[in-house]
Copies of this chain bind each other. A is one copy, B any other.
Amino acid sequence: MAETTARKRRRGARAPVQQSAPPFVTRNIGPLNILSEEGLCLIEENADRILQDTGMEFHDDPEILQIFRDAGCDVQDTRVRFESGFCRKTIQATAPKEFMQHARNPEKSVKMGGNATVLCPSWGPPFVHDLDKGRRYATYDDFETLVKLHQTIPWLHHSGGVVCEPVDLPANKRHLDMLYAHIRYSDRPFMGAFIGAERAGHAIDMARIVFGEEYVANNPVLYCVSNTNAPLVMDSHMSGALKTYARAGQPVATAPWVLAGAMSPCTVAGTMAQVLAEALACLTLAQLVNPGAPVLMGSFASTMSMQSGAPTFGTPEAGQMVLAAGQLARRLGVPLHTVGTLSASKIPDAQSQQEATWGLMMSMFAGANLINHATGWLEGGLVTGFEKTMIDADLCGKLGRFFEGIDLSENAQAMDAIAQTGPGQHFLGSDHTQANFMTALFRPETPDNNSFEQWQAAGSLDTAQRANALWKSHLEAYEDPGLDPAIDKALQDYITRRKAEAPDQEYF
């Protein structure tokens, strides 16, 4: 037993630290504003001018063109132009300022809006990376493993969506397996399928099996990320899902994904006017389809290397853009969806954490309400990293604690401890320290704070190597939240029926 412990310590393994966390972050600090009233008005006016003069295109979806025509918009071919102020007025008339997304475990339901922040894991990568097997195409086995790993991280609040793309499954059916894994292995809220009306319908069907038809009709239990094809285009894959979720009263976040210099102007002010214009048009669509549908303004704006054309993250301009997005969303009166620990690094090294820390901190200071990709993102979103997930998780936990704000209770003031200890003495043995040492300070899992000699004796491991042992010990400690066998069977039957309806396809 002692040997096992010693061996584990040598390879950097540690038992997961048991620290509990609320179901979402309640921010008692910030948000930080970057734009003056004048600056905000300027960007809002520019967004209105873009919508009026250039407009936005909705491809391959005639129903949408008719919806906008009926609402009095100027529709020519697939181009829709909006009278100045129309979108803002339409959204503000009916969109809720905040709402809950419910989890099957009611203690894990999350609030979207106000000073609440919900942290979600990485979303979309076709590859995974860990130190043992390197970078490789993701499989459904990786998907399940990531869902379980995320469930063990107390600082995440949401099981997410495409935590990695399981490319070993048929492209036209894997959404069913992904939804099943979230429902089966996590008891947190999760995202619906986001490509096309049909798959969105499947997600709603499965949610009805879990929550009951009436509950789903009256409560948000899913979440859809609906990207534009910037600049100023939405295609029917996205608009189909958007309409389906909006009609079902399920939350939709529009997330114009732009890299300034490529899909938007190479300036912050120009990019944010375009992002706002795209968000306004899409949120207007959601409100026209179902007035009162829960929506979030999304902003996923970063930059491009002007030398190589490569996507870049954790940049000054990306930080400025998310702070501006926070202000624009608050003035619009809807929650903000944005992004977290983005990095272009291929591995969980120094670059990955300088960029990740920058990105997640900026989003938190922006007052974001849901932060996608709060853990695990590498290589510009092509990779979910297992070690990176654990290192980012510490950051999520630190920010959660930080945003609680400063405790000003009599115990926290510690005036007796200072009087008792006196000049030149230490506080290690003071009554106050003894009474508070278990909870006083947050304990991240990946840092090594030991002396150089201790660190060397333990194998001179870097953070990634320690995180490698850590995600394994987290998985060992994973607790199955369980699922009612009747619901489980109904879900599996449903999936079997849907899969039988069409041949497998290797493309979307």
A contact set with B: CB distance below 8 Å: 29-30, 32, 34-35, 39, 42, 46, 49-50, 53-57, 79, 135, 229, 231-233, 260-270, 273-274, 303-312, 314-317, 319-320, 323-324, 344-358, 361, 365, 379-380, 382, 391, 394-395, 398-399, 401-402, 405-409, 411-415, 417-419, 421-428, 430, 432-433, 436-438, 440-444, 446-452, 455, 460, 462-464, 467
Contacts and interface: CB of A to CB of B under 8 A. Distances in A.
A269 B350 contact: no
A316 B398 contact: yes
A437 B303 CA distance: 12
Given A382-B452, A413-B273, A32 B30 contact: yes
Contacts of A450: 308, 310
B407 A350 contact: no
B447 A261 contact: no
A311 B229 CA distance: 48
A408 B41 CA distance: 11
Contact of A441 (B79, B306, B347, B402): B306
Nearest to A53: B419
B32 A436 contact: no
Contact of A417 (B265, B352, B446): B265
Contacts of A412: 267-270
- Most chain B beta-carbon neighbours within 10 Å: one of A379, A406, A428: A406
Contacts of A365: 32, 365
When A and B form their complex, which 5 residue pairs have the shortest distance between CB atoms, in order from nearest? A270-B414, A265-B414, A232-B423, A357-B357, A350-B463
Contacts of A433: 261, 265-266, 306
A449 B309 CA distance: 9
Contacts of A267: 407, 411-414, 436, 440
B464 A350 contact: yes
A320 B405 contact: yes
A398 B265 contact: no
B417 A270 contact: yes
B428 A35 contact: no
Contacts of A308: 449-450
Contact of A391 (B46, B56, B354, B357): B354
Contact of A358 (B347, B391, B398, B418): B398
A357 to B, nearest CB: 4
8 contacts: A231-B423, A262-B427, A267-B413, A270-B414, A273-B413, A307-B443, A312-B447, A314-B398
Most buried by B among A29, A49, A354, A438: A354
A406 B268 contact: yes
Contacts of A446: 350-351
Q: From A233, A266, A353, A430, name the one whose CB has the most chain B CB atoms within 10 angstroms.
A: A266
Given A34-B406, A413-B42, A455-B346, A432 B265 contact: yes
B34 A408 contact: no
Contacts of A427: 231, 261-266
Contact of A452 (B316, B352, B379, B440): B379
Contacts of A351: 353, 391, 446-448, 462-463
B349 A273 contact: no
Contact of A354 (B79, B306, B357, B422): B357
Nearest to A309: B428
Nearest to A127: B452
Nearest to A394: B354
